[in-house]
Amino acid sequence: MSDLVEFGALSPSSSVSSLATPVSTDPINTPDTDVSVLFDDDIEENPLDLAVDRNRYILVVGGLGYIGSHTVLELLKEGYNVIIVDDLSNSFQNVFDRLKLLAENYFQRIGEQMPALHFYSFDYRSAMMRKILSRYTTYVNPWNCVCEKAGPTRPRLVRNSCCNSPSVESMSRQRICRITGVIHFAAFKSVENSIREPIPYYQNNLCGLVNFLDLLNEFGVKNFVFSSSATVYGSMANKSIPLKEEHCVHSPESYFDHDGEERKAIPGTFGLTSPYGRTKFMGECILSDIAYSDPTWKITALRYFNPVGSHESGLLGEDPRQKPTNLVPVVTKVLLGEMPVLSIFGTDWNTSDGTAVRDFIHVVDLARGHIAALAAAASGKISDPFRTFNLGTGKGHTVREVIDCLQRASSMEVPVQEVGRRPGDVGFCIAEVKRAETELNWKAEKSLYECAVDVWNFAKKSLGSSSRCYDKGRDIDPWCHLSIS
């Protein structure tokens, strides 16, 4: 638990906001509000423990998904307490059990106490989200009194030497949220589906985001990491040059291009190819606007290139509830005999073998990038209130090279058929990675072959029909609150 001291240092000021100067006009912030969800809600833990750093949490929304689950495990290993919110729309509850098992084994091995891990199963757009934030929030006044739940209408003061002082209403109270950082993974992610059915994409990826940010602002939780994507570069990805963060900006920036020429980047992007890509671009625009309007936010948008691979145990990996459309899960299905043949979309790109080139990054490297981003923002290493980072390897591989690696890792042949290009696809997408290396002190380490070995290990242990032990159709209690500490 020693790492938790470091964790407690995460953005301490940003998670405290004074109720005397409310940041929202919502009546819930007004001391004499008659009905308050905040005070009516249960606060499970002893509020007097608040000063103790080990009571701080990182909230991971969409934390049982592919990237989220690997990130949660890395957060736990680094000593962070984690709250997961996930509605299981594209994942299974079984992932939580596996996470718990892996974390317990890890902490048993190193002989340390495991950080807390809480899971709530619901849609982050629902009213439950406010309840969760209030559950991890306590109120203090300048006399160091703690406001506790006391009946349906009013807060009551406890442990004080000042209860003779005037009413609660006249006091300047502070809301202290023990959530010091948020990583927001929850979104729909299929390029193809977003073209067919854009509305749910805009609803989940954008409407949900805006309301969530408003809520976090109200609770003073302002260290926010957003899952963005290389898709924000739109048709820049067809220019066969590594993509720099400055190729898509939200406020004017100067930079040096690949020929050493100084250039000015104008806000915007070119040729977005799908509603999904637009949700990520617009999400970044919204985040940038919010951060620049109130620089107490620390918002980091991480532009993932192509996450692949699995945890080395073979217990975590990519196993979506929805039909997969990404290359690697589809190859896996073909290898497992669940699909007869792999379609290669487009063999006429301007690349070495005609298939599309991507920057494939191991999901564990990617997961660690999130921790680097949270820590850099909290320590003040990132000076801008909004900053984007590419998370990739800086190296490209063609689709055929990926298939070859998976064939070698599995010692099996993948039957393929060549078909035309898919709507929304681009030919060449490689990250320029200097910014993340310099400012986040983070670098991807694993090779494509290591990714392939881990993918095949996960497929054998967790996905094959004989090894599959997921409880897939089960409904669960929306207040399901499993915890280990």
Helix ranges (H only) for 220-308 are 275-293
Smallest gap from Cβ 227 to ligand NAD, in A, equals 3
Interaction between residue 120 and ligand NAD (CB under 6 A): no
* Of the candidates 427, 373, 399, 78, the residue with the CA atom closest to the CA atom of residue 233: 427
Q: State which residue, 53 or 359, has the beta carbon closest to ligand NAD.
A: 359
Helix ranges (H only) for 294-398 are 327-335, 363-378
Interaction between residue 187 and ligand NAD (CB under 6 A): yes
Among 31, 65, 234, 309, binds ligand NAD (CB under 6 A): 65
Interaction between residue 194 and ligand NAD (CB under 6 A): no
Binding mask 271-310 for ligand NAD (x = CB under 6 A): ---------------------------------x--x---
Cα 344 to Cα 327: distance, rounded to the nearest angstrom:
9
Interaction between residue 62 and ligand NAD (CB under 6 A): yes
- For ligand NAD, which stretch binds (CB under 6 A), given 43-51, 83-91, 233-241, 261-269? 83-91
Cα 391 to Cα 286, 394, 405, 430: the distances in Å are: 21, 9, 22, 10
Q: State which residue, 155 or 307, has the beta carbon closest to ligand NAD.
A: 307
Among 66, 80, 120, 281, binds ligand NAD (CB under 6 A): 66
Cα 392 to Cα 446: distance, rounded to the nearest angstrom:
11
- Whether the CA torsion 118, 124, 127, 130 is positive or negative: it is positive
* CB atoms closer than 10 angstroms to residue 51: 10
Interaction between residue 97 and ligand NAD (CB under 6 A): no
Interaction between residue 324 and ligand NAD (CB under 6 A): no
Interaction between residue 189 and ligand NAD (CB under 6 A): yes
Interaction between residue 71 and ligand NAD (CB under 6 A): no
- For ligand NAD, which stretch binds (CB under 6 A), given 182-190, 252-260, 457-465, 466-474? 182-190
- Whether the CA torsion 485, 216, 208, 281 is positive or negative: it is negative
- Which 3 state secondary structure label does DSSP give 236? helix
Residue pointed to by tokens 């592919």: 66
Among 86, 218, 284, 359, binds ligand NAD (CB under 6 A): 86
Helices 66-77 and 363-378 sit at what angle, rounded to 10 degrees? 60
Q: State which residue, 88 or 448, has the beta carbon closest to ligand NAD.
A: 88
**Cβ-based neighbours of 48, under 8 Å, separated by 6 or more:** 146, 159
If you compute the radius of gyration of the chain from its CA atoms, what whole number of angstroms results?
Answer: 23
Binding mask 125-164 for ligand NAD (x = CB under 6 A): x---------------------------------------
User: Kindly report the CA angle at 229 between 227 and 235, in degrees rounded to 5?
Assistant: 160
* Of the candidates 201, 221, 170, 218, the residue with the CA atom closest to the CA atom of residue 57: 221
If binding means CB under 6 A, how many residues of this protein chain bind ligand NAD?
A: 28
User: Would you say 66 and 318 are in contact if contact means Cβ atoms under 8 Å apart?
Assistant: yes
Of 120, 124, 233, 276, the catalytic one is 276
User: Would you say 92 and 470 are in contact if contact means Cβ atoms under 8 Å apart?
Assistant: yes
Burial of residue 285 (CB within 10 Å: 0-12, 13-18, 19+) is middle
List the interface residues with ligand NAD, window 354-413 (CB under 6 A). Answer: none
Reported as type and span, the H/E element at residue 41 is none
- Catalytic residue check, 201: no
Smallest gap from Cβ 68 to ligand NAD, in A, equals 5
Smallest gap from Cβ 326 to ligand NAD, in A, equals 6
Interaction between residue 90 and ligand NAD (CB under 6 A): yes
Q: State which residue, 114 or 328, has the beta carbon closest to ligand NAD.
A: 328
Smallest gap from Cβ 294 to ligand NAD, in A, equals 23
Q: Which two tokens stand for residue 320?
A: 């979506």
Interaction between residue 320 and ligand NAD (CB under 6 A): yes
Interaction between residue 229 and ligand NAD (CB under 6 A): yes
Q: How many residues does the chain have?
A: 485
Among 1, 78, 89, 286, binds ligand NAD (CB under 6 A): 89
Q: Which residues are catalytic?
A: 276
Binding residues vs ligand NAD (CB under 6 A): 62, 64-68, 85-91, 123-125, 185-187, 189, 204, 208, 227, 229, 304, 307, 320, 326
